[in-house]
């Protein structure tokens, strides 16, 4: 795989972009667990409440898979000089770039993991291809990454759809919009979910330092997930959600949940770095343990 010359000293900006993509989208999405009521034939209300909790959990799983795509694209850009390289982590897969002339844009980049797949340094087994176009260097204002998939899967979960990352430009820190259109995740057991996302991340702290540990982001936006039976859950930020890079999960803010004719609320708390959140549906609270 070729390496482009003429890299720029963009480390303070690159660390911001990398840290935001480590957390992109996952702010609205959580892995949930809740106690089920002791009833062999739950009422319609009980079934709907259970669906809200279940779909919220599946939204977390599927969004994490697309988040992994973001990180693979970012690492490929770094490894090939499309942005300033910080670390070299691309342990497998072949990468092709067209055109190879570093002065000519746009570019099409193909990450090919092969039909048998290869296991990355984080232990994920990826198969197939990630194909994306890049209209300019990723840190430039207005840069757009448009990502598609060819028989691509992660640990047996097959991904489809068009995934875009847009650099909105900002003088006060990173500002990007991430969208997923016609998303579909097919599980190893054959079950599948379709999904969309549209979220904007704005950096709110840590812009002036080299360390990513003090970086914080304010997230607003929405997303949907639909199961095989046509049940759709929508999650939309009621208040801006707060992500801190030195915390595993979203630490503050609220998201509105809508399923059929019922509404719910996902509350991440007041800023404590922990795994706790609460889903409220029909006046009942369901404790949530975040990933």
pLDDT at 91: 55
What count of other Cβ atoms lies within 10 Å of the Cβ of residue 262?
15
Least confidently predicted of 12-16, 164-168, 233-237, 281-285: 12-16
Q: Is the pLDDT of residue 5 over 50?
A: no
When pLDDT is cut at 50, 70 and 90, the band that residue 225 belongs to is very high
> Is a pLDDT exceeding 60 seen at residue 83?
no
Cβ partners under 8 Å of residue 104, min gap 6:
none
Which tokens is 75 given?
A: 């690492």
**pLDDT > 70 fraction of the chain, expressed in percent and rounded:** 78
**What is the rounded distance in angstroms from the CA atom of residue 48 to the CA atom of residue 41?**
13
What average pLDDT does this structure show over 239-251? 84
Q: How does pLDDT run across 10-62, given as a tens digit for each residue?
A: 334 445 544 444 444 344 444 333 334 443 333 446 788 888 888 877 877 78
Q: Fill in the DSSP letter of residue 139.
A: T
User: Between 174 and 142, where is the model more confident?
Assistant: 142
Cα-Cα-Cα-Cα dihedral of 264, 290, 27, 52, to 10°? -30
Instruction: Evaluate the CA torsion angle 58, 59, 62, 68 in order and state its sign.
Output: negative
Q: How confident is the model at residue 80 (pLDDT cuts 50, 70, 90)?
A: low
What value does the mean pLDDT take over residues 242-254?
A: 84
Task: Give the pLDDT of residue 41.
Answer: 37
Rg (CA), the chain: 20
Binning pLDDT at 50, 70 and 90, where does residue 291 land? Answer: low
What are the tens digits of pLDDT across the range 183-204? 999 999 999 999 999 999 888 9
pLDDT of residue 70: 78
What is residue 45's predicted lDDT score, i.e. its pLDDT?
A: 66
Share of the chain above pLDDT 90, in %: 36
DSSP per residue over 95-115, as a string? EEEES--TTS-SEEEEEE--S
Res. 244 pLDDT band, cuts 50 70 90: confident
**Average of per-residue pLDDT across 113-140:** 89
The reported pLDDT for the residue numbered 79 is: 60
Q: Taking all residues of the chain, what is their mean pLDDT, rounded to a whole number? A: 79
Q: What is the pTM of this model?
A: 0.76
Length of the chain: 291
Cα 242 from Cα 27, distance rounded (Å): 8
CA distance 199 to 176: 8
pLDDT of 153 reads 97
Higher pLDDT, 229 or 83: 229
Q: Regarding beta strands 216-226 and 284-289, do their DSSP bridges make them parallel or antiparallel, or are they unpaired?
A: unpaired
DSSP assignment, residue 183? E
């Amino acid at each position: 795989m070729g390496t482009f010359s003429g890299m720029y000293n963009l480390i303070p900006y690159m660390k911001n972009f990398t840290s935001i993509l480590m957390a992109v989208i996952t702010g609205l999405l959580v892995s949930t667990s809740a106690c089920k009521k002791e009833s062999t034939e739950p009422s319609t209300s009980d079934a709907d409440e259970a669906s809200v909790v279940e779909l919220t959990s599946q939204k977390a799983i599927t969004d994490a898979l697309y988040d992994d795509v973001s990180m693979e694209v970012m690492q490929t850009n770094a490894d090939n000089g499309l942005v300033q390289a910080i670390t070299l982590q691309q342990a497998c897969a072949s990468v092709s770039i067209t055109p190879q002339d570093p002065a000519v844009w746009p570019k099409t980049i193909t990450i090919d993991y092969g039909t048998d797949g290869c296991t990355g340094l984080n232990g994920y087994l990826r198969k197939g291809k990630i194909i994306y176009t890049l209209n300019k260097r990723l840190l430039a204002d207005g840069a757009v990454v448009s990502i598609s998939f060819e028989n691509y899967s992660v640990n047996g979960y097959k991904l489809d759809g068009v995934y875009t990352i847009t650099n909105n430009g900002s003088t006060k820190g990173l500002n990007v919009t991430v969208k997923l259109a016609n998303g579909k995740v097919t599980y190893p057991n054959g079950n599948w979910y379709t999904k969309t996302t549209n979220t904007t991340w704005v950096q709110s702290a840590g812009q002036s330092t080299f360390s990513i540990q003090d970086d914080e982001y304010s997230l607003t936006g929405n997303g949907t997930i639909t199961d095989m039976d046509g049940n759709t859950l929508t999650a939309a930020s009621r208040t801006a959600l707060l992500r801190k890079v030195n915390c595993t999960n979203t630490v503050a803010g609220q998201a509105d949940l809508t399923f059929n004719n019922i509404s719910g609320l996902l509350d991440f708390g007041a800023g404590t770095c922990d795994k706790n959140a609460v889903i409220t549906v029909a006046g009942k609270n369901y404790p949530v343990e975040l990933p």
